[in-house]
Amino acid sequence: MTTRKVALTDKAVISLNPTPCPKCGNFREFVAHSDYCAEDCCNVWVECGECGFDPTQEDTGYRLEDVWGGCGDNNIIAAISCWDDALRESAK
């Protein structure tokens, strides 16, 4: 598994507009993870960088699936979008 700590700048927060963590309110610091989920596929996801909350833990269907995986900038941006989707769905 690969991990990377991410601290969003003001510009990134404005651009991405991430949903705050429902546990602690954080919307700037995340820890990105990338791990194999199948022979030719990886899951990429973020969890809260302050309290460790992961909205995709129970339903990994909200994690980004990527052939190469990795915690590069583009995958992190997409994983934050998946974070938002998972939190929006759980709020319903």
Q: Tell me if residue 14 falls in helix, strand or coil.
A: helix
Q: Do residues 90 and 55 make contact, with C-beta atoms less than 8 angstroms apart?
A: yes
For residue 89, the model assigns a pLDDT of: 87
For residue 9, give the H/E element and its range: none
Cα atoms in the 13 Å half-sphere on the side-chain side of 78 = 16
For residue 38, the model assigns a pLDDT of: 87
For residue 39, the model assigns a pLDDT of: 84
Quick one: which of 49, 51, 58, 59 has its CA closest to 80?
49
For residue 90, the model assigns a pLDDT of: 84
pLDDT along the chain (92 residues), means of 10: 95 96 98 93 97 95 94 96 94 75
pTM for this prediction:
0.93
